[in-house]
Amino acid sequence: MPMTVANIITIFRILTIPFFIATILYYTQETDYLRYVALGIFLFSSVSDAVDGYIARKHGQMTDIGAVLDPLADKLLLISAFICLYKVGVNFPVVRFPLWLIVAVLSRDIIVLGGILVIHILRGKVKMKTTFLGKATTFFQMICVLLMLLQWIISPLVWYITAFLSIISAVDYLRRGMTQLG
């Protein structure tokens, strides 16, 4: 595995996920500082996602392993965030994720990851490039997590947009995956 700066940043992002999970799972209203620790880890991970992509493109450090690890880091962080925040949501004083949002987000990721696995098994090589729709979906999912950690009262419209984008991007990935299978 080429150990480029971009890949090292991505691996570090993955290594922060257990700490993020722990801060969420140990959160109570009495330990509210953990919500801010989780927020810091999440912000660090989100910013370093942009940084590693920039470094990879700017300095010619784009690698096959980086193309796998970068979206994997995003998925691991977001799946962990949605599941953990839903689980501890009853402890949050103001805002809680609705179950249907969790189902939409997780269903998309299961469909995408399952599709990639099927294509890899049947064809050996997966050619799934990120799209604007996929990036918009990830952006809105990150916004949902950020707003939940901040406990800002938000319009349910953000949840509806996130669920809609999650479903539409899952359909798009399915369509593109079927094209690869022939």
Tokens found for residue 132: 């604007």
Tokens found for residue 79: 């799946």
Place of tokens 């090589």: 125
Q: Enumerate the domain spans of the chain.
A: 5-181
Alpha helices of the chain — where are they, by DSSP H? 5-25, 33-58, 64-88, 99-123, 132-150, 156-181
Percent of the chain surpassing pLDDT 70: 98
**Better-scored residue on pLDDT, 129 or 174:** 174
Residue-wise pLDDT for 44-98, tens only, equals 999 998 999 899 889 888 888 888 888 889 999 999 999 999 998 867 777 788 9
Whether 1 shows a pLDDT value over 60: the answer reads: no
Q: Are 149 and 39 in contact (CB under 8 A)?
A: yes
**Better-scored residue on pLDDT, 93 or 108:** 108
Question: For residues 23-52, b (16+ Cβ closer than 10 Å) or e, as one string?
Answer: bbeebeeeeeebbebbbebbeebbebbeeb
- Which residues have CB under 8 Å from 167's CB, separation 6+? 104, 107, 108
Residue-wise pLDDT for 132-161, tens only, equals 999 999 999 999 999 999 988 778 899 999
Q: Are 177 and 118 in contact (CB under 8 A)?
A: yes
Q: Which CATH architecture has domain 5-181?
A: Up-down Bundle (1.20)
Question: Cα separation of 39 and 46, whole Å?
Answer: 10
pTM of the model: 0.90
Whether 99 shows a pLDDT value over 70: the answer reads: yes
